[in-house]
Amino acid sequence: MSEEVEMKPCPFCGGEIDDMGKADHPAYFATTQNPTRYAVNCSRCLTMGPFAPSTNGAILAWNARAAPKVKALEWKDFEGMGAKAGAYYQANYMITLWRGRGQFEVSFSYPGHGTGYDGERFHDSLEAAKAAAQADYEARILAALE
């Protein structure tokens, strides 16, 4: 290898990549179909790639890899009783003000189904409830990505 290219931490888990995490490690490449393809492999979260024809190319491609960002939920007032945001398909997040207890409840629903929300339900402010819903939304979206 001619010159070392500095490698960025993993965009998904923030893990620093050590030598064992490089996919040009012989033990790793012995099992691939094409030994001329290289990729950085995060040994913590197992994110790999993109592939390139050289180790430096693989590192440059890795460094250019951006962590996916999930869009912010777009909240609409829900008849003065809280807020509502469409998540994906027909799923919605709802935030409902419980006037008696002075708290906002987060829920998540599909048509014909009850809530599928397992996070902290009650929050002292609308902003805190929105943040909890956003965190749940991001976790659901990111869970579907490699």
Query: Which residues lie near Zn ion (CB under 5 A)?
Result: 10, 12-13, 15, 42, 44-45, 47
Q: Closest separation between CB of residue 45 and Zn ion, Å?
A: 3
SS3 call for 108? strand
CB of 17 to Zn ion, least distance (A): 8
Residue number with CB closer to Zn ion (6 or 74): 6
Helical (H) or strand (E) element with 106: strand 103-109
The first and second tokens of residue 78, run together, are: 């829900």
For residues 45 and 131, which CB has a smaller minimum distance to Zn ion in the complex?
Answer: 45
Give whichever of 10 and 95 is closer to Zn ion, judged by the CB atom. 10
Q: How far is the CB of 112 from Zn ion (least distance, A)?
A: 37
Of 143, 126, 122, 130, the C-alpha closest to 93 is: 130
Q: Measure the CA–CA gap between 96 and 78, rounded to whole angstroms.
A: 8
Please identify the residue of the shown chain whose CB is closest to the bound Zn ion: 10
Shortest reach from residue 136's CB to Zn ion, in Å: 22
* Contact predicate 82/104, CB 8 Å: yes
